[in-house]
């Protein structure tokens, strides 16, 4: 028998969509399968989770949703048309969903990390890591704790009047 959050805890107050994968390749060489895997993992999964969570949150008249996007979704990245499109899609999805759910006291925001050491970035060639570090005004890479702190703020009561926003947590890498 499956046990969901509502059955286990009686409520569902917070949803953080943090799925992410890459299949980097120039578009001329990109396989359609690689496009689909990235879009399904990074964008469609957020749709599926939000669709289910929104029903409960609307009944409660309360909820906090945070979608993890990327600076690649804000500025694009060569060799990442699929990843950039999926993360840009999350930006539009976040803003539209914030408008749909706001009247029910549900906030929907996004966090756009810059370069952070994770399993997703571990295999990036050193020359690219050096380039990102040089382009980051704060002169360091982000940490998972930096991202967690941003999410914790957006789901807190202190952020109760913030919705439909994208918070770049990137050390200044992409300023818009």
**83 is known as an active-site residue:** yes
Q: Count of H helices and E strands in the chain?
A: 7, 4
Entry pTM: 0.91
Q: How many residues belong to the chain?
A: 176
Report pLDDT for 176. Answer: 58
Cα gap 112→151, rounded to integer Å: 10
According to the model, what pLDDT value does residue 93 have?
98
Give me the tens of pLDDT residue by residue for the chain, a chain 176 residues long.
Answer: 455 888 888 899 999 999 999 898 899 999 999 999 999 999 999 999 999 999 999 999 999 999 999 998 898 888 899 999 999 999 999 999 999 999 999 999 999 998 898 877 777 778 887 888 888 899 889 999 999 999 999 999 999 999 999 999 988 888 75
pLDDT at 2: 52
Q: Read off φ and ψ for residue 57, nearest 5 degrees.
A: -65, -35
Catalytic residue among 20, 38, 82, 83: 83
The span from the CA of 20 to the CA of 120, in Å, is: 8
Nearest to 98 by CA among 57, 146, 42: 57
């Amino acid at each position: 028998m499956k046990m969901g959050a509502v059955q286990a805890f009686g409520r569902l107050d917070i949803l953080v969509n943090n799925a992410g994968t890459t299949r980097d390749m120039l578009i001329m060489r990109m396989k359609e399968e690689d496009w689909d895997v990235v879009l399904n993992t990074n964008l469609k999964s957020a749709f599926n989770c939000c669709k289910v969570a929104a029903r409960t949150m609307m009944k409660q008249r309360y909820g906090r949703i945070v979608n993890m996007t990327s600076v690649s979704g804000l500025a694009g990245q060569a060799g990442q048309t699929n990843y950039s499109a999926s993360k840009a899609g999350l930006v539009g999805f976040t803003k539209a969903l914030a408008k749909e759910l706001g009247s029910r006291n549900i906030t929907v925001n996004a966090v756009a990390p810059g370069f952070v050491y994770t399993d997703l970035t571990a295999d990036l060639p050193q020359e690219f890591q050096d380039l990102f570090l040089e382009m980051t005004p704060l002169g360091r890479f982000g940490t998972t704790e930096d991202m967690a702190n941003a999410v914790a703020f957006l789901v807190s009561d202190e952020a109760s009047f913030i919705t439909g926003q994208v918070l770049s947590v990137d050390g200044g890498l992409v300023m818009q």
